[in-house]
Amino acid sequence: MDLIHLGPLDLGLAAALVLMLAALSLYLGLGVERRLLLAALRSLIQLGLLGLVLKTLFAQTHPLPIFALTGVMLAVAAWEVRARQRHRFRGPWGIGIGALSMFVSSFSVTLLALVVVIRPTPWYAPQYLIPFLGMLLGNTMSGIAIGLESLTRQACDLRPVLEDRLALGHPWQQVIAPLRREAMRAGLIPIINAMSVAGVVSLPGMMTGQILAGSPPMEAAKYQLLILFLIAAGTGFGAAAALWVASRRLFDGRERLRLDRLDGV
């Protein structure tokens, strides 16, 4: 397999494009230059560090540092879900709902893929575990963040209707069901769209990467399919778990709507 190595100049060229985009944003007054540069800088530092960490990690097979890294990834993802909410749940729930649902979905789907499908030895071999978990966490994170945002925003907007339905004696599950359906739909749309256009319009990131790194296209396609299906399952189950816990948390034991449990209401 021929691997074409990227030099500093190649990356510098791509980075220059981002700088030009930031300059354009400044010139046109679009106001995104700061966020764009900050995000680019973050990705530079984070991916550089990850490269270093993985290099060290791949060189050994002690499980402890590997699991520690997965823990850090989960914590950052949970923090990111919380950061994307306008109406956050107060207290530990704000981070707990995202962390719990991502743990349940991403970790179990990764475990399933590794133990049943890929079967590396040992099963936690970091060359497989870390990339798989990363792809799953990244995607379930978006699905869960969108779903939660949709649920809490609707609950705030529709508060008078929800209160009226409760007053008429409708059980809380019945009152929240249409909101939860809509939130679930919103959370799943990105992955449904991704699957619909995969290979026709877009060449998904992982497949592109593998082909660029010299893998045969058919092998790359099979891996990409595996990843897409796992992401769909992980996102769906993760969003379902998060929305179930979150909608339960919107009501108390006496089925009262408790928007006071959200920030910024």
Which positions touch another protein (CB under 8 A)?
158, 160-161, 163-172, 252-256
Q: How far is the CB of 160 from another protein (least distance, A)?
A: 4
Q: How far is the CB of 208 from another protein (least distance, A)?
A: 46
Residue from 89, 59, 44, 13 nearest 248 by CA: 89
Helices 33-58 and 63-83, axial angle in degrees (round to 10)? 160
Residue from 233, 244, 237 nearest 97 by CA: 244
Q: Report the C-alpha gap between 81 and 83 in whole angstroms.
A: 5
Closest CB to another protein among residues 158, 211: 158
Closest CB to another protein among residues 80, 163: 163
Alpha helices in the chain (DSSP H): 8-28, 33-58, 63-83, 93-102, 108-112, 126-157, 159-167, 172-197, 205-212, 217-249
Closest CB to another protein among residues 42, 159: 159
Residue 131 corresponds to which tokens in the numbers above?
């990339």
Closest CB to another protein among residues 14, 161: 161
Residue from 174, 196, 172 nearest 256 by CA: 172
Q: How far is the CB of 262 from another protein (least distance, A)?
A: 16
Q: How far is the CB of 161 from another protein (least distance, A)?
A: 5
Q: How far is the CB of 93 from another protein (least distance, A)?
A: 18
Closest CB to another protein among residues 80, 255: 255
Residue 174 CA, distance from chain mean position: 29
